[in-house]
Amino acid sequence: MAKRPAMTIARTRKEARQWRAAMREAGKRVAFAPTMGALHEGHVSLIRLGLAHADVAASSIFVNPTQFSANEDFSTYPRAEQADLDALAEAGCSFCYCPNPTEMYPAGDSTRIIVKDLSHILEGEVRPHFFEGVASVVARLFLHIGPDVAVFGEKDYQQLLVIRRMTQDLGFPIEILGGPTIREADGLAMSSRNAYLTADERACAAEVSGTMHDSAAAIEAGQPIRAVTDAAAARLMANGFASVDYVEARRADTLAPFGAEIAPAGVGGRLLIAARLGKTRLIDNMAFVRK
């Protein structure tokens, strides 16, 4: 197992379990924030949130092939392991699991985790393979690392709900925390894929968060949901977006539609947007409640 000054790096499940056993022996509560690398301030905030709920923080860097379809960016996804390890160590992370692919998917691997229903709406309609890949890799990471707490960004809100459901259904003894979305100064949600934006696209990209805030405010004020979300999609298209996959206002707990023209008062809602700018797909979401 290679040692850096402040952080242990494991490449096999055996090494990961050895580190976890040492933490258990030392009576340390472990928080875990998994990543696919290409770290930004949003990932660092998840490590810090984990440290506020545990004694030590662990992370992982693994670009998970099963959550990409054949026409997506698996081969070009940004990879910068050394810079990522430095950023994790700097953030106070004690351990990083960078598994060899065969540790996650051994030869002949044929086991997948499917969280029904929640995985097949919204993001799951556009990317049908995605949540099966996420659940399958996160379950493996949980088994290899065995954290007490795991932290996921609210930027991927549907992913957070899928993982909560899986954790509950499979009985992982892990507390799942959601970390607030970290934004650039102009409101754009931080994402590793923002690196794909050209300068012109980057100038337009903040329109997603502006549209989202205005739409959530309109729904909170009692405007009809469908009229607001249709206007939001039209606004994005008028501002240079190539297409809009969805703009939806849903119940925050289940992502089910409200089933009413106007959001019911006092029920937590989530406004979710996915739109394409050039070749880059941007997603964002925020909470709302009609008074």
Q: Give residues in contact with ligand PAF (CB under 6 A).
A: 34-36, 64, 67, 134, 137-138, 156, 159
Count of residues making up the chain = 291
**Cβ neighbours of residue 91 closer than 8 Å, sequence gap 6 or more:** 44, 47, 48, 57
The CB-of-30 to ligand PAF minimum distance in angstroms stands at: 17
The CB-of-93 to ligand PAF minimum distance in angstroms stands at: 14
Euclidean distance between CA atoms 32 and 176, whole angstroms = 10
Return the number of other C-beta atoms located less than 10 Å from residue 54's C-beta. Answer: 21
- Of the candidates 128, 95, 275, the one whose C-alpha atom is nearest the C-alpha of residue 188 is 275
The CB-of-64 to ligand PAF minimum distance in angstroms stands at: 4
**Contact (Cβ atoms closer than 8 angstroms) between residue 37 and residue 81:** yes
**Cβ neighbours of residue 109 closer than 8 Å, sequence gap 6 or more:** none
Examine the residue annotation and report whether 144 is marked as an active-site residue of this protein.
Answer: no
Q: Which is nearer to ligand PAF, 178 or 269 (CB)?
A: 178
- Which helix (DSSP H) or strand (DSSP E) does residue 246 occupy? strand 243-251
Out of 40, 43, 120, 213, the active site residue is: 43
The CB-of-159 to ligand PAF minimum distance in angstroms stands at: 6
218 CA to centre of own chain? 26
Residues labelled as active-site residues: 43
